[in-house]
Chain A
Amino acid sequence: AQSVAQPEDQVNVAEGNPLTVKCTYSVSGNPYLFWYVQYPNRGLQFLLKYITGDNLVKGSYGFEAEFNKSQTSFHLKKPSALVSDSALYFCAVRDPMFSGGYNKLIFGAGTRLAVHP
């Protein structure tokens, strides 16, 4: 079964410090992985994705993520956090081997990032 785990409900970091939001996944084949961010009373905004190729992918607003196949992880990172990065972050996976539908996303429970001044 496909699944995504975000082990931390909340991550606290001081402004200017690096941040990491963790994500691990379970799929039957090679995964397509995504990160989204949600601000209060808003929909989800796409940050970045890993499909194939370079394990380090760069996305919007200075975020990047590293795909690690052996650890089945796709952690989101940013070298220097901003207070405006405070939001809810979701990791999601698609399993290309799943024949029922190509665009179904399986989401993690979300991690609330709080960046303190």
Chain B
Amino acid sequence: KAGVTQTPRYLIKTRGQQVTLSCSPISGHRSVSWYQQTPGQGLQFLFEYFSETQRNKGNFPGRFSGRQFSNSRSEMNVSTLELGDSALYLCASSLRVQGDTEAFFGQGTRLTVV
């Protein structure tokens, strides 16, 4: 069974640009969550989607947005990039929305903003 797939693995963008990251969950998983990992702030929750609906959003500015498609694939978008957006962005999928199921993570997208 294929794991969570994130594309691209690496990105270099310039300040002010926008970027779209993609995540394909494990087959059959309908819940997708996104996290930002930085050395200073650690792992922080961005948002969660289930059945194409955003269920929860972390404490990030409106420049960070996401969506989920009918096949459960998800994208996140960051507009007007800032240097501080440089991070590893991790996507996780879960089988159910009940919190007792473990999340499976992709390898992440390393975003560098210059």
Contact = CB atoms under 8 A, between A and B. Distances in A.
Given A102-B99, A104-B56, A109-B42, A43 B33 contact: no
B4 A104 contact: no
Secondary structure call for the A interface: loop
Interface stretch (A14-22, A45-53, A64-72, A78-86): A45-53
A105 B103 CA distance: 9
Contacts of B6: 43
Interface in B1-37: 4, 6, 31, 33, 35
B19 to A, nearest CB: 19
Contacts of A32: 99-100
Interface residues of B, number: 28
B33 to A, nearest CB: 6
A109 B110 CA distance: 19
B12 to A, nearest CB: 16
A51 B100 contact: yes
Interface size classification for chain A: 20 to 34
Interface of A: 32, 34, 36, 41-46, 49, 51, 90, 94-96, 100-110
Top 10 nearest A-B pairs (CB, nearest first) are A101-B56, A43-B105, A107-B43, A94-B99, A44-B105, A102-B99, A101-B55, A100-B56, A43-B107, A102-B97
